[in-house]
Amino acid sequence: MKNLQLTYKPKENFIYRSNGVVKISILLSLFVQSFIFNHPFYLGVFFLNILIIILFSDCWEEILIYFRFMLIISLFTFFINIILYPEGTTIIFQISNDFPLLGGFKITFETIISSLIIIFRLTLIFLIFGTFNLIINPDEIIQGLVKLKIPHSIVFIITLSLNFFPLILKDLEKIREIQQCKGLELEKGNFLSKFKNNVKLILPLLTNSLERSIQNAEALEARAFDIKGKREYYQVIKISFIDYIIIIFTISSLIFQIYLSFQGFGNYLIYPTLSEVYLGNSGYFVLIFLSFSNFLIIGLLNLGDKIEK
């Protein structure tokens, strides 16, 4: 975690140099796609697309930190879903005795597959927002969302939400270093002693977060944030012809994909019995279209960067 920047930091590649509005439209499109489709093949294509963006943007190390926290959440979600939602017909394990509050307990194959798909979706969403936070300048996020006619107050809330997790990690690392300088052992001893020592980091972390929220509130009040009026920016985002093409293509492709989802494409039936993974000729054609459209968008981003140079 040390020396890694979990917020935006400029890098020399075409992904970082691309227009912020374009990057917002692409990542929001991937976010919607991960919700409207649940077939493993479709989710696999979206996962590949976000990995390609991460590869070209050269932010692997930062994303791995997000991924480590996502692994903990995924394991927790997996077991909770198996315990609390034991639906399906293919029973793998069952105990007929009544448990307090739970009653009979069983694990079905359908529930396991459903849990894995949920985890896959959560991982996609986590990677999308992690990438969103790393490759887009906060000023570009604000201007991009304002250009979409979203109110400034909502834009500010979104910006704070996106920066919350990286700031918490940054504060946690600083607090760890301070406590270790004071002689607190965080890495030595058995599991119980490590747990007790790390719990001591929570109070200063919460205190620091509350202080930051108070400072933000005072800064907003001092700058009359709620006053209506035309806002000006130090640097205005300029959208090129290629950028317009990418945005229009991305939105059109997303609308078409939403239509396809209503027609039953990319929907995988899990309960009461798993449906076949086979998509059919039309399903594979749609899958190829999704792959091609996303690769085309990346290619247009690279082309736009070369034209700008």
Query: Does residue 192 share a domain with residue 280?
Result: no
Those residues with Cβ within 8 angstroms of residue 83's Cβ, 6 or more apart along the chain or in another chain: 102, 105
Residues 11 and 94 in one domain: yes
Q: Where are the beta strands (DSSP E) in the chain?
A: 91-99, 103-108
- Residue that terminates a domain, selected from 233, 261, 276: 233
250 contacts 25 by C-beta, under 8 angstroms: yes
Looking at the predicted structure, is the pLDDT value of residue 117 above 70?
Answer: yes
Q: Of the residues 183, 213, 233, which one is the last residue of a structural domain?
A: 233
Work out the pLDDT band at 228, boundaries 50, 70, 90: low
Do residue 213 and residue 305 come from a single domain? no
Written as one letter, the residue type at 278 is Y
What is the per-residue pLDDT across 204-220, written as a single tens digit (0 to 9) for each?
888 888 888 888 888 87
Give me the chain's average pLDDT, please. Answer: 80
Give the model's pLDDT for residue 189. 72
pLDDT band at 2 (very low <50, low <70, confident <90, very high): very low
Mean pLDDT of the region 289-304: 83
Residue 302's SS3 state is: helix
Same domain for 300 and 158, yes or no, is no
Please give the structure tokens belonging to residue 277.
Answer: 């993974």
Residues 94 and 11 in one domain: yes
Separation CA 120–CA 249 (nearest Å): 26
- Based on the domain organization, do 158 and 70 belong to the same domain? no
The verdict on 40 and 105 lying in the same domain is: yes
Give the span between the Cα atoms of 52 and 4, in whole angstroms: 21
Residues 132 and 251 in one domain: yes
Cβ atoms 66, 126 nearer than 8 A: yes
Q: What percent of the chain has pLDDT over 70?
A: 90
pLDDT on residue 1: 46
Q: Flag whether pLDDT at 194 surpasses 50.
A: yes
pLDDT of residue 134: 84
To which residue do tokens 């597959």 refer? 113
Pull the structure tokens for residue 169. Answer: 């990690």
Query: Is the pLDDT at 309 greater than 70, yes or no?
Result: no
Instruction: Report whether pLDDT(160) > 60.
Output: yes
The whole-model pTM stands at 0.75
End-of-domain residue from the set 184, 218, 233: 233
For the cut 80, the answer to whether the pLDDT of residue 171 exceeds it is yes
The predicted pLDDT at position 208 comes to 86
126 and 62, same domain (yes or no): yes
* Amino acid 76: pLDDT: 84
What are the φ/ψ torsions at residue 38 (nearest 5 degrees)? Answer: -130, 5
Average pLDDT over residues 38-56: 88
Angle at the Cα of 29 from the Cα atoms of 121 and 125, rounded to 5 degrees: 25
Average pLDDT over residues 123-141: 83
> Based on the domain organization, do 155 and 172 belong to the same domain?
yes
Q: Provide the domain count of the chain.
A: 2
Q: Do 21 and 99 fall into the same domain?
A: yes
Task: Tell me what pLDDT residue 157 has.
Answer: 81
CA angle 159, 306, 255 (to 5 degrees): 50
Strand-strand pairing, 103-108 and 91-99: antiparallel
Q: Structural domain of residue 39, as residue ranges?
A: 1-136+240-309
- Name the maximum alpha-carbon separation found in the chain: 70
150 and 223 share one domain: yes
